[in-house]
Amino acid sequence: MSPIEPFGARLRRAMDERGPLCVGIDPHASLLLEWGLNDDVAGLERFSRTVVEAVADRVAALKPQSAFFERFGSRGIAVLERTVEEARAAGALVIMDAKRGDIGSTMAAYAESFLREDAPLFSDALTVSPYLGYGSLKPAVDLARENGTGLFVLALTSNPEGAEVQHAVRPGGRTVGATVLAHLAEENAGQTPLGSFGAVVGATLGDLSSYDLRMGGPLLAPGIGAQGATPADLPRVFGAAVRNVLPNVSRSVLRHGPDVGALRDVSERFVEEVRAAVAAG
């Protein structure tokens, strides 16, 4: 199979045309209950298909959280496969939130599961962890380049526990998080209009002016909505890199289900709020 257009170029176009928003597909047991669904495979499928029906034709990206499908075993994975396929068919880019991280042939196998064009779970991008050393991601980086897919590397995450690792200072004075960003800048060098190797950077982190977020790739930004950040916070947090920010919203959209119209309305409001914030920044 021939390589598809690089992920970064496809994401830039989707963000410009549809608006910079990623909607998470996070079928928590509590959300299934809120929707009046059972916490079983049938409920999982109804939930996922409803989200895809509501927003996959109008937002830049959807981000299924693999863990909530994996907990149902092989039948849950089958639902995830259909969700990815249907979302991509509707025009959304799919970012698989699996946060894989390992070494050597194991990392290569994880990458092949999600980034190889003929894989059942083939996605446009994958979240990965660099905390076995950034170089451990090389099999995923190489396969992404080969297949026109992308990575989002955990750099400065919104969970409070992350700071003890990500803000730790290495010999030479650079933090671990800044080192990850510097590696990504190297991966994206010369790539236009947007590189395919992004970072996960929390929108709840406040002033990040001590970090150079202009690393040539997209910044996947969780924390909007239920975690407390708002679209208006984006210019303050991301500064000159705000145009490359892809905010992720999950619960603040999903809690409006199972009504398809309500899911569409709230996602469209978030798109307009983010567009306005980026323009103001």
Question: Would you name the residues annotated as active-site residues?
Answer: 99
Tokens (6 digits) for 35: 């929707």
Cα 139 to Cα 67, 100, 133, 179, 216: the distances in Å are 22, 12, 13, 19, 21
Q: How do beta strands 150-156 and 125-128 pair?
A: parallel
Q: Read off the tokens for 177.
A: 């998080």
Q: Cα 23 to the chain's mean position, in Å? A: 9
Report the distance separating Cα 264 and Cα 262, nearest Å: 5
20-34 b/e with 16+ CB inside 10 Å = b? bbbbbbbbeeebbee
